[in-house]
Structure 1
């Protein structure tokens, strides 16, 4: 699953959880700019971007922004972990173990 497919899947899951505010951060500048653009996308992926925008439109607050790749280490750690799973896993109240491991490493190396 690429970035565009992952964003659509995540937004759909968030909508099912009845979350009213949506903040999406990614490290692909082109994808984040295209999703947040008000201009129609005429590329072959235009329908994918439109689908993501339609899913996001049901939220009270929506923000798409780009972050540096290094700032996205927790997301990448979770993506690696998810690629090894056979079933879908959702964490609501506590942080998933891969995220805790990554943030602990960041504190140790940055501190």
Structure 2
């Protein structure tokens, strides 16, 4: 083998190794059930089943989790607290929007 062919063979081997290393081995989520054919979401670096959990403040929490908002309790997966006015609104609504029938006013 000529020196030129050796250099090309070594370069080809290095390129192949770099390609294999850059993709890495597939990794399944740890500490979860296998979610084949089921919908799943991601919260930070964790996967979760949206039928049982939601992502709240970068943490996976059960759908029934509640928090206080003034004198009210709100469901963190479905509602949000507007703390400066102590109003609970449906999640995704702007706290500055006009009050709607779904809003709950909670005293401080």
Larger radius of gyration: 2
Give TM-score scaled by structure 2 length: 0.22
Structure whose residues are more often helix by fraction: 1
Larger RCO: 1 or 2 (CA < 8 Å, sep 6+)? 1
Give TM-score scaled by structure 1 length: 0.22
Structure whose residues are more often strand by fraction: 2
